[in-house]
Structure 1
Amino acid sequence: MGVGIRAAGEDDRELVVRLLDEAFQDDPVSGWVFPEREYRRRTHHRLMAAFTDIVLAEGRIDVTEDGTACALWLSMPPAADGDGPADADGSGDAAGADDAVRLRESVDPANARVEEIARLMADSHPSDRAHEYLWMIGVAPARQGEGLGSALVRHVLDRCDREGVPAYLEASSERSTKLYERLGFAFADHTLDIPDGPRMWPMWREPVTGADKP
């Protein structure tokens, strides 16, 4: 039986924040941003709420009909000539730096790592081609391993294939790269190495069309 998927709206904000908070509490990157476990449990949801608000405003959030998984996507334009990585609104480096500062100030003002991770991810983001960016995918811990995440990703990748659009993501663990490889993503030839922290794996997927389709 297939997985029912729908587009999230403003009424789903708290559901999405809760799913992301639960799914990423023990993620290596979240653990680096908020190293102290009890503080992370009290504060992590603010970062997930900030991400949710950005994507509700500028992108698309898909949720399963039963509310147990979600995926956050942004449509990224290519950067203008001479600019650095494009932000969701197509702007370049200066706006991206300002966004990182605002993120820290809204989430955890004394925590420089909130700003640092935003800058690192923006700096490593490909900027030469328009693409769909899978920012985050969260599955309720009790439902992980059931294929819900794969179904959510395929839901957008099918459209990417129809429209000839590539896709990009950063995997936060080596284990998750295996899942994304099965969905057609390939390692982008460099890791994102967080200072004194974990490693992330940027991955890129070319659209699959015509005779190349399995």
Structure 2
Amino acid sequence: MGAAIRAAGRDDRERIVRLLDEAFQDDPVSGWVFPGAEYRRATHHRLMTAFTEIVLAEGRIDLAEDGTACALWLPTPAGAHDPDDDGPAQLRAVVDPANERVELIGRLTADIHPADRAHEYLWMIGVSPHRQGQGLGTALIGSVLERCDREGTPAYLEASSARSRGLYERLGFEQHGPALRLPDGPLMWPMWREPQQP
């Protein structure tokens, strides 16, 4: 599918937050972090706002021109994981101070994140529910993976659903270590992709 994709800027912030909030309302991991539909509708957007702010400052957000899909990428140097990092606690304080799961998921995913090699980290990709299954996710990810292949850079992500895991496998990602089971919650699959020859 051909899709017009551009790098997002600060002017796109609210559009990206709305898109991610809508796209992840039914996601198993979002449902675990924010249990209950009413609570999730009232609170989830604050986490998406924090993620958007971090990636606008430190990475790159690719946005479909029509605003129906976006991908958040962070370049991650080797040795980036610091077990004493208080980022997850800071995130919880900003997003939902009473919700321990906001901090816990940050710590659990940091613990499984590979630190031995520099890579591109696909933090999340969101597609509007009415546009899912139309190839937008593949188009968004593909442009960065092509650059990774040219530059010899691996890529990493955590799949939050079996459906997304299948998409990533089709794009050359493989499971990287055991799946992460969130306490009393769903699985997340760490996935790694070596750069591929054109």
Deviations 1:138-187 (A, max 9, x none): 00111111100000000100000000000001001122211111101011
Could you say which residue in structure 2 is the equivalent of 1:126?
114
Matched residue of 2:158: which SS? strand
Could you say which residue in structure 2 is the equivalent of 1:10?
10
Deviations 1:107-146 (A, max 9, x none): 0000001000010011110000000000000001111111
How many residues in Structure 1 have an aligned counterpart in Structure 2? Answer: 198
Matched residue of 1:128: which SS? coil
Counterpart-to-counterpart distance in 1, 2:162 and 2:148 = 24
Aligned: 1:30 with 2:20 = no
Q: What's the RMSD between the two structures over aligned residues?
A: 0.9
* Consecutive unaligned residues in structure 2, runs of 5 or more: none
Counterpart-to-counterpart distance in 2, 1:165 and 1:93 = 24
Q: How does 1:183-202 map to 2 (within 5 A)?
A: 183-202=171-190
- Deviation at residue 37 of structure 1 after TM alignment: 1.2
Q: How does 1:137-176 map to 2 (within 5 A)?
A: 137-176=125-164
Could you say which residue in structure 1 is the equivalent of 2:94?
106
Larger Rg: 1 or 2? 1
State the AA in 2 paired with 1:94. D
Counterpart-to-counterpart distance in 1, 2:177 and 2:99 = 30
State which of 105, 108, 128 in structure 2 corresponds to 1:117: 105
Counterpart-to-counterpart distance in 2, 1:193 and 1:78 = 25
State which of 57, 62, 84 in structure 2 corresponds to 1:94: 84
- Deviation at residue 36 of structure 1 after TM alignment: 1.7
State the AA in 1 paired with 2:10. E
Structure 1's consecutive aligned runs of 4 or more residues displaced over 3 angstroms after TM superposition are none
Counterpart-to-counterpart distance in 2, 1:165 and 1:118 = 24
Identical amino acids, percent of aligned pairs: 71
Counterpart-to-counterpart distance in 2, 1:129 and 1:24 = 29
Counterpart-to-counterpart distance in 1, 2:169 and 2:37 = 31
Could you say which residue in structure 1 is the equivalent of 2:50?
50
Counterpart-to-counterpart distance in 2, 1:9 and 1:138 = 17
Counterpart-to-counterpart distance in 1, 2:177 and 2:40 = 32
State the AA in 2 paired with 1:123. D
State the AA in 2 paired with 1:193. R
Give the alignment's TM-score, normalised by structure 1: 0.91
Counterpart-to-counterpart distance in 1, 2:69 and 2:90 = 28
Matched residue of 1:93: which SS? coil
**Larger RCO: Structure 1 or Structure 2 (Cα < 8 Å, ≥ 6 residues apart)?**
2
Counterpart-to-counterpart distance in 1, 2:6 and 2:146 = 15
Matched residue of 2:84: which SS? helix
Counterpart-to-counterpart distance in 2, 1:5 and 1:37 = 31
